[in-house]
Structure 1
Amino acid sequence: MKLKCLSLMLLLGFVGSFSLMAQQNETKLPPEATEFYEPKVKPVSPGNENHLPPADAIVLFGGNDLNAWVSERDGSFPKWKVEDGILTVAPRTGGIKSKEAFGDVQVHIEWRAPSEVVGNGQGRGNSGFFFMGKYELQILDSYNNETYSNGQAASIYKQHPPLVNAMRAPGEWNTYDAVFTAPRFNENGMLISPARITVFHNGILVQNNVELRGPTQYIGIPHYVAHEEKLPFHIQDHSNPVSFRNIWVRKLD
């Protein structure tokens, strides 16, 4: 029995050392190390749809103001533009985050890439919606736009490519409807259950209750670190004038 316990301790020590070394080596990886282009995502033309907020929804942007949001840089009032019921990123002013924190949620987002196509790949109509400020549902103009599969629109960035490419043309409105389950940690900070997400893009299922491997990482492999049960949403400023309307959320917890 003592020999078995000693062997187990040695094994756990080895695994822990290997994990630490792997995390340290991640800083030496280029961002391309976690991008993949195969398999390619098949394009599918979406149908028409019109979503109104349900009675129990919290409307985070209904076309009038940004009172539900603050600047992610310093907590001040956001500098993004609201005009004719539409919210548009003011490039290089920083992202915005919701004043309220959320855990398990259903979220509806309508967004569009600029009608004037500028740039390509990740430089074209790029933004992102971060659940809990950590887990990114990618926003990108992926209409006839080549980029890595796990970085295109409706991907869980650098983790899961969408099942199909349901993008509408530049300047047309897209919708995301997502159900997000927050990760659970015990009192010692150990992961009990990972985050999961289901996403419909323009009414088409593109993420089917997939398991997230950890918070979004641009470089390196994602891994969980314990955090609060509820955290604010974050919408990214990626220096592109992406527009939004009709953002609402339902609490599921």
Structure 2
Amino acid sequence: MRRVLVTGASRGIGRAVSIAFAERGDRVAVHYGRDIDAARETLRRLPGDGHALASADLADPDETQRVIDTAVDALGGIDVLVNNAAVATSDATRHAVPSVEYEQWQQIWRKSIDVNLIGAANLTYLVARHLIDRGAPGAIVNIGSRGAFRGEPDFPAYAASKAALHAFGQSMAITLAPHDIAVTSVAPGFIGTERQATRLAGAEGDGLRAQSPFGRIGTPEEVAAAVVFLASPEAVWASGTILDLNGASHLRT
């Protein structure tokens, strides 16, 4: 049994990751930002016992420290961190240069970097120091994005923050390997979460499915399966990798 902190776990990929770990017998701290009802639903779906909720605005370093303290107190420690929380792509965060005002441009960039990159960096630091102080092995998995490689013209801050998260993870893989802490990242393509249901059911749906030669989109459970594997002791030699999970919709060379 391991103790796992999953950020942004109130729904979508974070919820699927939390369930996948709990199904293996692990204890999970479900982090959420504001939607406590959705977080409670995630908690309700977790098999086993000993799970917990932990709330924080990850753009705030003090709240980030508190979420670690809450998870450690509730679970008895942290062995695995999944950096999933992010300011995601949505109508509210669209900021293509021709159609956004300068003030909004700055606000979206700042929030994206503060949460997607600096929040994940702070969590990684705190969990890594926790593991080092215990003299325990561990794993950190970052949820990046296909957009880091193919670009996101309507959401450049998102793509840039995810590219930076990938690079940060590789730096940490080198730094933390002597302490038996593996660090990996996954780069999902379009995933069929609750947040995307309207787009998939509308006029965009066929085009989104056609991005992959499989003719469909990915599922949160497929991402979760990869995360659980990368966090396992059997995958330690994959430390430093960035795993594409996009159904061959974008191929890197």
Structure 1 and Structure 2 fold alike (TM over 0.5): no
Bigger radius of gyration among the two: 1
Q: With structure 1 as the length reference, what TM-score do the two structures score?
A: 0.30
- Bigger relative CO (Cα 8 Å, ≥ 6 apart): 1
Q: With structure 2 as the length reference, what TM-score do the two structures score?
A: 0.30
